[in-house]
Structure formats: C-alpha cells, structure tokens
C-alpha cells in the first residue's frame, strides 16, 4: 500500500519554459532554437550542458551565472517562482493530502530552490534538494535519503517524476514504486520508451495521479 508520495521538481511541479527562454535571451539566440536544443538533449540522452556548449562553445556555466547574478541581482535569472508552478500542482497535492498521504518534495536542485519552493507554501510535509543532501539522482544514496524523509518503508513510497533514467528506474531499484509524469520534453519522450513499462503508472498530471490513487 502506498503511504507516501515524493515528487521531483523540474517538469513535475515546475514548468521550466520561462527558465529556458531567459537563458535564450541571455545567450543571444532565438527562444525556439534554444528550447529545441533542450528537447534534442532529452531525445538523445545528452547532458543539458551540451545545449549551452552548442550555442556558446567553451562556456563556463558557473562563471556565466555569477556574471548574470551580478548584473541582475533581483531578477529570476536561472531560477523559478510561484508563477512557474504547473496549474494542477496545488489541486493535485491538496487532494492527495486530504486522502491521507505523506507528501515530500525531493529533486535535483541548487541551494536556492529550497527557499523558492518554501515560499510557495505548498501542501507538503517536507522539501529537500540534492544540494542540501550533497547527492543527486540517480545515485542510490539519494533514494536512501528519500526513504528516510518519507518515514515509510520503500515499498510504501511512490516516487513521481518525468524521467525514466533519473526517476523511475532508480526508484524501482531502491524498492520503491514509481509514477512517470508525461509532461515536459523528458516526460513525453520517455513515456514512449520500453523502460516506461517499469513505472507503476504513467499519468499526464497531478490531478490524474490523485484520482487514480483515490
């Protein structure tokens, strides 16, 4: 029986479209071009940084973000806020909480993501980032942390994310159940892969997830 749900962040709770459009503007390329490159990385299973390197060979992302922060200290830049939440997030989380599930947010995110998520006052029991844990998905240690904060046995935890490689498969290896969210470039592409069959369910959004879990 599922007693706890743990949610990824990017393209699970957060629509990253505005982040990529701001990056396109920063790098001086058409927005459609850069978003297309992001989709290409997803389709080819390539690291995201390669999209940046295609646009600007030799780019130092750390230095670029530091320069951007210095130039626009009050802007969102590569970050997100309440306006980036997918429209179904609050309704879906509220329905799941009312049904009695323990809800946790835990994903690969930088340090500042914690404050951004906490400021949204989502109906969840905890928020955790890879930066705070110092380990990222798909490492087994990340999912060991997930089990710890979920406060339930692995088989009672459903990990919800948009990728088979980072979410579904490592969650299953950790003894958890997994839901593949079919949205965002990775979610739509990965839902069509054979490995998607290893997910306990494939859903189009959090409202559908809440309805299916009851």
User: How does residue 214 score in pLDDT terms, banded at 50, 70 and 90?
Assistant: confident
Q: What is the pLDDT of residues 46-85, one digit of tens each?
A: 999 999 999 999 999 999 999 999 999 999 999 999 999 9
Residues in CB range of 37: below 8 A, 6 or more apart: 51, 54, 55
Answer yes or no: is pLDDT of 17 > 90: yes
CA angle 138, 139, 145 (to 5 degrees): 105
* Structure token pair of residue 134: 């110092």
What CA dihedral angle connects 129, 48, 78 and 149, to 10 degrees? Answer: -10
Q: Using CA atoms, how far apart are residues 148 and 134, in angstroms rounded to an integer?
A: 15
Region 35-46 average pLDDT: 96
> What is the SS3 assignment for 92?
helix
Q: What is the pLDDT of residues 132-185, one digit of tens each?
A: 999 999 999 999 999 999 999 999 999 999 999 999 999 999 999 999 999 999
Q: Domain boundaries in the chain?
A: 4-15+81-213, 17-71
Checking phi first, is residue 161 left (phi over 0); if not, alpha (psi -120 to 50) or beta? beta
Q: Which CATH number fits domain 4-15+81-213: 3.40.50.1000, 3.30.565.10, 2.40.50.140, 3.40.50.10070?
A: 3.40.50.1000
User: Contact at 8 Å (CB) between 78 and 19?
Assistant: yes
Q: Which residue has the tokens 């054979």?
A: 194
* pLDDT on residue 143: 98
Backbone angles phi, psi at 162, to 5 degrees: -105, 5
Backbone angles phi, psi at 109, to 5 degrees: -145, 150
Report field, pTM of the whole predicted structure over 0.85: yes
């Amino acid at each position: 029986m599922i007693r706890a749900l743990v949610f990824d962040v990017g393209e699970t709770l957060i629509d990253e479209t505005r982040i990529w459009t701001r990056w396109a503007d920063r790098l001086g390329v058409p927005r459609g071009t850069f978003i297309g490159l992001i989709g290409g990385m997803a389709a080819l299973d390539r690291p995201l940084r390669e999209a940046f390197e295609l646009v600007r060979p030799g780019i130092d992302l750390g230095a670029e973000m530091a320069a951007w922060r210095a130039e626009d200290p009050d802007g969102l830049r590569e970050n997100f806020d309440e306006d980036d939440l997918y429209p179904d997030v609050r309704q879906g989380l509220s329905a799941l909480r009312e049904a009695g599930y323990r809800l946790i947010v835990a994903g690969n995110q930088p340090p500042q993501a914690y404050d951004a998520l906490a400021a949204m006052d989502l109906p969840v029991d905890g928020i955790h980032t890879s930066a705070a844990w110092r380990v990222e998905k798909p490492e087994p240690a990340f999912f060991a942390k997930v089990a710890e904060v979920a406060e339930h046995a692995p088989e009672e935890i459903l990990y919800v994310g948009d990728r088979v490689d980072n979410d579904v498969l490592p969650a299953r290896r950790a003894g958890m159940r997994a839901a593949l969210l079919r949205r965002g470039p990775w979610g739509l592409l990965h839902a069509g892969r054979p490995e998607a069959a290893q997910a306990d369910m494939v859903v189009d959004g959090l409202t559908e997830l809440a309805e299916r879990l009851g």
